[in-house]
Amino acid sequence: MTQNYEKLPQDAFTRIPRDTQEAEKISKPSVSFWQDAWRSLKKNKGAIISLILFGLILIMSFVGPMISPYEPNDQTITHANLPPKMPIIENLGIMDGVGTLGGREVDLYEMKNVEQNYWFGTDGLGRDMFSRVWKGTQVSLFIAFVAAAIDMLIGVIYGGISGYFGGRIDDVMQRIVEILTGIPNLVVVILFILIMDPGILAIIIALTITGWTGMSRVVRGQVLKYKSQEFVLAARTLGASDSRIIWKHLMPNVLGVIIINTMFTIPGAIFFEAFLSFIGLGLQAPDASLGTLINDGYKLIQYQPHILLFPAVVLSLIMIAFNLIGDGLRDALDPKMKD
């Protein structure tokens, strides 16, 4: 606010031409939608740790049964009910092969004269829990991934057709979905398992028979939202064919929610598989999934808690990891999406 001017250098008032380039320069580099999503996902520590954790579990589910010297279904009756024993870690006072026998703590490996180490211990039939847990993980993940993939495929096609073509087709298709979603998932799954031979296939079919409706709803909603927007109208005006509009204009926009939804279907499927196995409708012995292992372990919870512990921990870790990855993806891909 001062009016007494200080002395300014001679050339201070030389005019400089306006650099329009400079003025129009956008200071931030432009990033694509996916780059931006990846950036914000990378900032989400929970999601990144989960991604690494899940990667490790996935690798172990294949490598685990191989690095263990025992086959998942090999029974060594003399080595039954051994607690976990792992070199190095045993020095910490855990997983040292010590278990309770008749109320006293003893090293069961010494007592039974077992030379080898069973890292996760053994079950009542002397099977190696380490290879069984990872084999079971493999089976559970396989079921979950296949079920989620089928859900996605049917859901996207059904929801896409319903939303894109609209009108009577949409009406009829939506009435069908409305009735299907009215039937509790639990009831359908149990009934289907009952009439089919128990096994991986039966579980996958049971999980997908109504599982796709969730995906179809989401996809339909998104397609309905985007197809009436100006960029699609513009493409149509320019003579784009239906398939071009679907693949070039709608799909990239709907892809985000498809990915997010799938990330939440997978833990759902893992849960249902374990649930069915737990109530006795899952895989039949000697095949193992995490659910059947938990069921077996639960029966011995009082005496051999380790048989329950390992599959339960792996199952919980997978579930937590997927939920965190799903949350992270949702925040990264669509901060506004809530359902």
Partner 1 sequence: MEKILQVKDLELSFHTYGGEVKAIRGVNFDLYKGETLAIVGESGSGKSVTTKSIMRLLPEESAEFKNGEILFGGRDLTKLSDKEMQKIRGKDISMIFQDPMTSLNPTMPVGRQITEPILKHQNINKDEAKKLAIDLLRLVGMPKPELRMKQYPHQFSGGQRQRIVIAIALACNPQILIADEPTTALDVTIQAQILELMKDLQKKIDTSIIFITHDLGVVANVADRVAVMYGGKIVEIGTVDEIFYNPQHPYTWGLLSSMPSMDAEDAKLYAIPGTPPDLLNPPKGDAFALRSEYAMKIDMEQPPPFFKVSDTHMAATWLLHPEAPAVEPPEMVIERMKKFPGSRYYEGSAN
Partner 2 sequence: MARYIGKRLIYMFITLALIATFTFFLMKILPGSPIASADKLSPEQRAVVEARYGLDQPLPVQYFDYMFGLLKGDLGISINQFKGANVTDVILSRMGPSAQIGFQGMLLGTVLGILFGMVAALRQNTWVDYGSTIVAIIGISIPSFVFASMLQYWFGLKWDLFPVALWKDGFMSSVLPSIALAMFPLATAARFIRTEMIEVLGSDYITLAKAKGASGSEIAFKHAFRNALIPLITVLGPMAVSILTGSLVVEQIFAIPGIGEQFVKSIMVNDFSIIMGTTIFFSVFLIVVILIVDILYGVIDPRIRLSGGKN
Residues that bind partner 1 (CB under 8 A): 1-3, 5, 8, 11-16, 18-20, 22-24, 26-27
Q: Per-residue DSSP letters for 33-76?
A: HHHHHHHHHHH-HHHHHHHHHHHHHHHHHHHHHHHSSS-TT---
Provide, rounded to whole angstroms, the least separation between the CB of residue 260 and partner 1: 23
Nearer residue to partner 1 within complex by CB, 1 or 285: 1
Provide, rounded to whole angstroms, the least separation between the CB of residue 290 and partner 2: 10
Q: How many CB atoms lie within 10 A of CB 145?
A: 17
Provide, rounded to whole angstroms, the least separation between the CB of residue 6 and partner 1: 10
Nearer residue to partner 1 within complex by CB, 15 or 168: 15
Per partner kind, with CB cut-offs from 5 to 8 A, the member of partner 2, partner 1, none near residue 92 is: none
Per partner kind, with CB cut-offs from 5 to 8 A, the member of partner 1, partner 2, none near residue 11 is: partner 1
Nearer residue to partner 1 within complex by CB, 11 or 230: 11
Per partner kind, with CB cut-offs from 5 to 8 A, the member of partner 2, partner 1, none near residue 32 is: none
Best CA proximity match to 131, nearest among 189, 61, 188, 29: 61
185 Cβ neighbours under 8 A, 6+ residues apart:
210, 211
Q: What is the rounded distance in angstroms from the CA atom of residue 151 to the CA atom of residue 164?
A: 19
Provide, rounded to whole angstroms, the least separation between the CB of residue 13 and partner 1: 5
Residues found near partner 2 in the complex (CB under 8 A): 46, 178-179, 182-187, 190-191, 194-195, 267, 271, 274-275, 278-281, 294, 298, 301-302, 305, 308, 312, 315-316, 319-320, 322-324, 327, 338
Is the preceding omega at residue 286 within 30 degrees of 0, hence cis?
A: yes
Provide, rounded to whole angstroms, the least separation between the CB of residue 160 and partner 2: 23
Per partner kind, with CB cut-offs from 5 to 8 A, the member of partner 2, partner 1, none near residue 187 is: partner 2
Under a CB-based contact definition with an 8 Å cutoff, are residues 273 and 143 in contact?
yes
Under a CB-based contact definition with an 8 Å cutoff, are residues 248 and 240 in contact?
yes
Per partner kind, with CB cut-offs from 5 to 8 A, the member of partner 2, partner 1, none near residue 243 is: none
Q: What is the rounded distance in angstroms from the CA atom of residue 328 to the CA atom of residue 319?
A: 14
Nearer residue to partner 1 within complex by CB, 26 or 66: 26
Q: What is the rounded distance in angstroms from the CA atom of residue 129 to the CA atom of residue 297?
A: 10
Nearer residue to partner 2 within complex by CB, 165 or 271: 271
Nearer residue to partner 2 within complex by CB, 223 or 294: 294
Sign of CA dihedral 80, 70, 309, 197: negative
Per partner kind, with CB cut-offs from 5 to 8 A, the member of partner 1, partner 2, none near residue 24 is: partner 1
Task: Put residue 143 in one of left, alpha, beta given phi > 0 → left and psi -120 to 50 → alpha.
Answer: alpha
Nearer residue to partner 1 within complex by CB, 104 or 338: 338
Under a CB-based contact definition with an 8 Å cutoff, are residues 260 and 278 in contact?
no
Per partner kind, with CB cut-offs from 5 to 8 A, the member of partner 2, partner 1, none near residue 113 is: none
Per partner kind, with CB cut-offs from 5 to 8 A, the member of partner 2, partner 1, none near residue 66 is: none
- Tell me, what DSSP letter sits at residue 125? T
Provide, rounded to whole angstroms, the least separation between the CB of residue 27 and partner 1: 5
Of the chain, the end-to-end C-alpha distance in Å amounts to 56
Q: What is the rounded distance in angstroms from the CA atom of residue 234 to the CA atom of residue 162?
A: 22
